[in-house]
Amino acid sequence: MSEEPDGTRRGTATAESVVLNANTAFYNAFEAGDLDLMAAVWLPEPDPVCIHPGNAAIYGYPEMMRAWAMIFANTPYIQFFLTDVQVRVDEDVAYVTCTENVLSSGEGAPEEGFAGGKALATNVFRKTTSGWRLWIHHASPVLSSGGRQEEAE
């Protein structure tokens, strides 16, 4: 079988499954705390945007990589359980929406314990010659039934 520019083989993977794999690579890089893996996921140009729950938007690749380095330095453990995953592909742009169910340790977690949270996320990807790259990540905290915000990421 011949290979497409995005690395898929004709007839073996749908665009949706390739985008979902790119989405998984983002969360794998996050869980691993690996700046090189995270850098490989993102589209450097045009300026990417990253919005974590309860924080201001981070614009631009260099600024975002600095922010990821700080997050990784201050997050000893984080794990994502994604639910409600939906994908839409429209030519060279795609998005994935999902619920991030997060388990983490570090700042904000009980001593010697873990904290949990939930956020709704939208991840927008653009197709490039090297495959689908993350362009925009926006996660918003979910309000619990008690009316307070649950924190994630």
Question: What pLDDT digit, counting tens, does each position of 88-101 carry?
Answer: 999 999 999 999 99
Residue with more model confidence, 29 or 6: 29
User: Which pair of tokens denotes residue 4?
Assistant: 């497409």
Phi/psi at 141 (5° precision)? -65, 150
> Confidence class of residue 139 from pLDDT cuts 50, 70 and 90?
very high
pTM (global) more than 0.85: no
Q: With a cut of 80, say whether residue 3 has pLDDT above it.
A: no
Q: Cα(60)–Cα(11) distance, rounded to whole angstroms? A: 36
What is the model's pLDDT at position 2? 44
What is the model's pLDDT at position 8? 46
